[in-house]
Structure 1
Amino acid sequence: MAILFSIAIMASFLYFFHRRRSCKHPVLRDYPILGMLPPLLFNLWRIHDFSTELLKKHGASGDFLGPWFTKMNYFITCDYLNVQHILCKSFDNYIKGPEFREIFEPFGDGVVTADSETWKYFRTILHSLIKQRRFEAFVDKTVQKKVLTSLLPILDHVQKQGKVVDLQDVFNRFTFDNMCSTIVGHDPNCLSIDFPEVAIERAFNESEESIFYRHTVPRTVWKFQKWLQIGQEKKMTEACRTFDEYIYSCIASRREELRKFSKEEMEEAPFDLLTALITHERGCVHDDKFLRDGAFNFFVAGRETMTSALTWFSWLITKHPLVEAKILEEIQEKFKADQVVLGMEDVKKLVYLHGALCEALRLFPPVPIERKQAIKADTLPSGHRVQANTMILFSLYAMGRCEEIWGKDYLEFKPERWISERGEIIYAPAYKFIAFNAGPRICLGKDLAFLQMKMVAAAILRKYRFQVVEGHVTAPGHSIILLMKNGLKATIIKRQT
């Protein structure tokens, strides 16, 4: 027994020594057995600021080692030259990988998780659909209708009642209804005066929290929980079942409806994404799984960007009244006397509002962390060597707080940094302003997302201003999307006309 104990001690010592030698750029102290996990868990409540502090302390890049004999070993960085190298210059060497698809299980084989030819095929189809004028016109009409018939009436109702409202919940419901209409042609009316609980909307939220959880514990832990169907993994399974039932029922009913349309009638049919995917088949029939994965990926990409951006934007506006005044002045110049909601063509002229939204996305990117896996060994611009199969995490949140990219005033909410002397938008390279990804995987719906956010923000700010409840704590929640943990509780004040 003593011999076995001695062997175990010696093996542990040798393994610990091996880890120390192989980890040349540690960002945290490497504890025996537990690795660098303890300080990470201790700071989980402020994980994004904690990661930013670590990266600044260690020259923007370093190694994180999880518990022994687990796969929680990462190279982490916020160096924009490394990001440019990974996402743009050496794109083919850095993939999502099978582990990514396993963690992001609800996404299936959609454009977010797919690699190689599957990704190229999906992206080509989506690109051809999104760029069609007919699709943009459909989205424009859908957003205007939702703002007029739901968003503004509900804000007016809350204002008259003098109630406190969670603006993040309002935006979440608005974008969920909007994306359902845009993707599957069905409005579930989450945004109603009684604020109903909608199972499909809750399922999306729970699946995202479960994906975040899978990032914070060893794979063996969440795999074991999944096998036992307990804890967060049970929630994941139930959430997947709920939204799969919803999406597959939408697919079935849409296929049935489209069979009744003649070719001429199809030109006049609503151009939601699901209809577009089905009618785009051109001899190559996509199965329901393909359509399900496409719809789910578009749901998350479109919905979360708007909810997160509008929530943090609204909070920042309440903290910066001078910025709010400039936005309001610009909006009032563009609105006609009888116009309640600006259309997409109108909001393209709102340059200062665009800059303010860029600032919100810079400081609070909807997806705060991106993940890649190296196929072959490579040397990064920072000089760090990554081996084949190395997992790489880059912090978009930290990049938005990088002095080298944004200057000494990087913590200021300053829309002017996005506006040229001629009064035009300054477009920063995507690998620096990375809220919409960069390189070949840059978000296809970026321009459409900006137009929708400007339509919503302009319509609201013209009529109302917000006052955050005194003592309300705003902090990022535990999800793969940068939402506020406690929501954004505020009262609504009607502007004097």
Structure 2
Amino acid sequence: MTPIYSTSRLIPHLPELLLSLAAFLFLILDHRRRRRSFDLTTLNFPLIGALPHLFVHAGRLHDWITDVLRSGGYSVVLLPPSFAAYDILLTCDPANVRHVFTSHFANYSKGPDFADLFDILGGGIFSADSDSWKFQRRKAHGLVADLSFRTFVGGATREKLDHGLLPMLRSRAAAETAFDLQDIFLRFTFDTTCRFVFGVDPGCLAEGLPDVAFARALDHVEEALFYRHVLPLSWWKLMRLLRVGTEKRMAQATKVIDGFIADCITKGVQGAAKVDVENGEMGSDLLTSYLGTCDEIASQGVDFTKFLRDTTFNLLIAGRDTTSSALTWFFYLLSCHPSVESRILSELSLHADPSRLVYLHAALCESLRLFPPLPFEHKAAVHPDVLPSGHPVHPRRRILFSLYSMGRMEGIWGKDCAEFRPERWLSDSGKPQYVPSYKFFSFNSGPRTCLGKDIAFQQMKAVVAAIIARFRVESITEQSEVRPKISIFLRMKDGFMVRVTERENPVLGW
């Protein structure tokens, strides 16, 4: 039966809604006059808080937040409408990051609000807390750190490069056609991540670039999750109840995603059984590895089928969306800085060992500093506390860390913080320069530091080296048109349109 929501329940909030509309119209007329500084006295309106700003600046939310934090000394409280359940402490202060993620880690969880916000993740590692998180972390660490899995990742990446990505780029170069490189990277990382996780290649880079229902479904999910951050809790929950707007698309997308994962798990289980029978040993993908520990997982009182669904989905979106985002922004920055590309080419011609590509590693770190694939991190305090910034926190205050803003603060990175300068990651002798994770936050910090960090760099270096050694990538997207999409991941709004040409003298060995 379709739920009915009485309009009479909206009447108590009518003044807030009218004030919100008035403030919204005012901001539309006024926001063009705002520059890099921000007047904090107009940040939070009576009764409706900062909600009008979030609506008006949704299209440039990350840069607006950066302006606010720059004016507010790295930490600012965003008040919600009076009927909302919590307020938000917005921060990019490295001292706060260190306090929350490392020195006082036990007092800060994802919290029940996070689990509700990201309900599609289920009980996976990214939303889990306490004992569930510890167990999942321990299991994932053992699997990801295994040498056979890392070898498998390298081989699967190379195979997809040689038989998928590079042939596709050659055909585009021969045809002299423009194409969306962001879409290509999403397809590439989707194929490879499915191999890593399920042992299955969905063939998204096949001839003709087939439509991928799962990818479209994830786009709808990520858009809905973004709006859940902007709208008051009661609003998006009502939308979810009534199945309207982004929440309707979210529900439809969830069915597609669950169906795809169930199909991949079935194929993966069948493939694992075949490998076991024919070779007397298990495969190296993560699903196969988890199948080998089903008794241990079941002993934790966990539904094994649900565990596989939640775990594989969490790993799938981590590998697909973060790496593709990082590669897209990297090649965009490279197209704007040909001198960096030249230095990477020189390094490739000197070294055939990826571990010796120090400058390429520095350039990737610099790109991640400016364009972190996950621009926000969430935390909630279990018990009341006071952060190093002097701001009190409590269970009804959500803490939102802006990684995007952190990379653009002079007090953290210097006066050239807005510049793409890989040299900041190197010492005077050309060796890697250590930067603490509470300052370079792209792979999280403390006990929740990303387990796949080394694998991510391994794959990114392989992709960048293979492309740059063979092709010149020319952006045909105007810099003024480059902006993040409305999504929880930092993707380009209208894609990254490029042309590629083959190098007359490719760098051999890559």
TM-score relative to the length of structure 1: 0.90
Does the aligned pair in 2 maintain the 1:35–1:68 contact within 8 Å? yes
Question: How far apart, in 2, do the equivalents of 1:464 and 1:72 lie?
Answer: 50
Partner of 1:492: 500
CA deviation vs aligned residue, 1:141-190 (integer Å, no higher than 9, x gap):
00000000010000110111111111101101100111011111111111
The alpha-carbon deviation at position 266 of structure 1 amounts to: 4.7
Secondary structure of 2:152's aligned partner = helix
Q: Structure 2 residue aligned with 1:255, among 269, 279, 297?
A: 269
Question: How far apart, in 1, do the equivalents of 2:138 and 2:47 lie?
Answer: 46
Q: Are 2:169 and 1:155 equivalent residues in the alignment?
A: yes
Q: Quick one: which amino acid aligns to residue 495 of structure 1?
A: R
Does the aligned pair in 1 maintain the 2:40–2:68 contact within 8 Å? no
The alpha-carbon deviation at position 257 of structure 1 amounts to: 4.5
CA deviation vs aligned residue, 1:204-254 (integer Å, no higher than 9, x gap):
222111111111111222112212212111111111111111112222343
Q: Are 2:439 and 1:432 equivalent residues in the alignment?
A: yes
Partner of 2:179: 165
The alpha-carbon deviation at position 32 of structure 1 amounts to: 3.3
Q: Structure 2 residue aligned with 1:278, among 291, 297, 317?
A: 291
Q: Quick one: which amino acid aligns to residue 410 of structure 1?
A: C
Q: Quick one: which amino acid aligns to residue 311 of structure 1?
A: T
- Percent identity over paired residues: 43
The alpha-carbon deviation at position 28 of structure 1 amounts to: 4.5
Does the aligned pair in 2 maintain the 1:27–1:55 contact within 8 Å? no
Secondary structure of 1:373's aligned partner = strand
Secondary structure of 2:473's aligned partner = strand
State how 1:8-407 maps to structure 2 within 5 Å. Answer: 28-71=42-85, 73-259=87-273, 262=276, 265-267=279-281, 269-285=282-298, 287-335=304-352, 346-407=353-414
- Flag the 1:310–1:283 CA change in 2: closer, same or farther, 3 A: closer
CA deviation vs aligned residue, 1:78-122 (integer Å, no higher than 9, x gap):
110011101111111111011101111111111100000000000
Does the aligned pair in 1 maintain the 2:294–2:304 contact within 8 Å? no
Does the aligned pair in 2 maintain the 1:62–1:77 contact within 8 Å? yes
Does the aligned pair in 2 maintain the 1:138–1:270 contact within 8 Å? no
State how 1:471-490 maps to structure 2 within 5 Å. Answer: 471=478, 473-490=481-498
CA deviation vs aligned residue, 1:404-441 (integer Å, no higher than 9, x gap):
22111111111111122333222311110000000100
Does the aligned pair in 2 maintain the 1:363–1:397 contact within 8 Å? yes
Secondary structure of 2:356's aligned partner = coil
Question: How far apart, in 2, do the equivalents of 1:467 and 1:396 lie?
Answer: 28
Question: How far apart, in 1, do the equivalents of 2:276 and 2:330 lie?
Answer: 45
- Flag the 1:445–1:380 CA change in 2: closer, same or farther, 3 A: same
Q: Quick one: which amino acid aligns to residue 207 of structure 1?
A: V
Partner of 1:20: none
Question: How far apart, in 2, do the equivalents of 1:404 and 1:72 lie?
Answer: 30
Question: How far apart, in 2, do the equivalents of 1:375 and 1:190 lie?
Answer: 43
Q: Quick one: which amino acid aligns to residue 486 of structure 2?
A: H
Q: Quick one: which amino acid aligns to residue 224 of structure 1?
A: L
Question: How far apart, in 2, do the equivalents of 1:118 and 1:287 lie?
Answer: 13
The alpha-carbon deviation at position 72 of structure 1 amounts to: 5.2
Does the aligned pair in 2 maintain the 1:28–1:64 contact within 8 Å? no
* Structure 2 unaligned residues grouped into runs of 5+: 1-11, 17-38, 506-510
CA deviation vs aligned residue, 1:434-489 (integer Å, no higher than 9, x gap):
00000100000001100100000000001111111153611011100000001111
- Flag the 1:263–1:225 CA change in 2: closer, same or farther, 3 A: same
- Flag the 1:470–1:237 CA change in 2: closer, same or farther, 3 A: closer
CA deviation vs aligned residue, 1:318-377 (integer Å, no higher than 9, x gap):
111111100011112224xxxxxxxxxx21111100000000000000010111111111
The alpha-carbon deviation at position 387 of structure 1 amounts to: 2.7
Q: Structure 2 residue aligned with 1:411, among 402, 413, 418?
A: 418
Question: How far apart, in 2, do the equivalents of 1:266 and 1:361 lie?
Answer: 42
Question: How far apart, in 1, do the equivalents of 2:274 and 2:483 lie?
Answer: 50
Q: Quick one: which amino acid aligns to residue 289 of structure 1?
A: K
Q: Quick one: which amino acid aligns to residue 484 of structure 2?
A: P
Does the aligned pair in 2 maintain the 1:313–1:357 contact within 8 Å? yes
RMSD over aligned CA atoms reads: 2.0
Question: How far apart, in 1, do the equivalents of 2:130 and 2:477 lie?
Answer: 50
Question: How far apart, in 2, do the equivalents of 1:215 and 1:383 lie?
Answer: 24
The alpha-carbon deviation at position 262 of structure 1 amounts to: 5.0
Question: How far apart, in 2, do the equivalents of 1:72 and 1:379 lie?
Answer: 17
The alpha-carbon deviation at position 401 of structure 1 amounts to: 1.0
Does the aligned pair in 1 maintain the 2:297–2:304 contact within 8 Å? no
Question: How far apart, in 2, do the equivalents of 1:207 and 1:27 lie?
Answer: 35
Q: Quick one: which amino acid aligns to residue 420 of structure 2?
A: F
Q: Quick one: which amino acid aligns to residue 399 of structure 1?
A: M
Q: Quick one: which amino acid aligns to residue 374 of structure 1?
A: A
Secondary structure of 2:162's aligned partner = helix
Question: How far apart, in 2, do the equivalents of 1:209 and 1:300 lie?
Answer: 14
- Flag the 1:162–1:402 CA change in 2: closer, same or farther, 3 A: same
Secondary structure of 2:400's aligned partner = strand
Does the aligned pair in 2 maintain the 1:27–1:62 contact within 8 Å? no
Does the aligned pair in 2 maintain the 1:26–1:63 contact within 8 Å? no
- Flag the 1:250–1:193 CA change in 2: closer, same or farther, 3 A: closer
Does the aligned pair in 1 maintain the 2:84–2:233 contact within 8 Å? yes
- Flag the 1:393–1:186 CA change in 2: closer, same or farther, 3 A: same
Q: Quick one: which amino acid aligns to residue 279 of structure 1?
A: G
Does the aligned pair in 1 maintain the 2:200–2:268 contact within 8 Å? no
Question: How far apart, in 2, do the equivalents of 1:258 and 1:361 lie?
Answer: 36
Question: How far apart, in 2, do the equivalents of 1:315 and 1:174 lie?
Answer: 17
Question: How far apart, in 2, do the equivalents of 1:259 and 1:283 lie?
Answer: 19
Which stretch has the larger CA shift, 474-483 or 187-196?
A: 187-196
Question: How far apart, in 2, do the equivalents of 1:98 and 1:487 lie?
Answer: 34
The alpha-carbon deviation at position 26 of structure 1 amounts to: 6.4
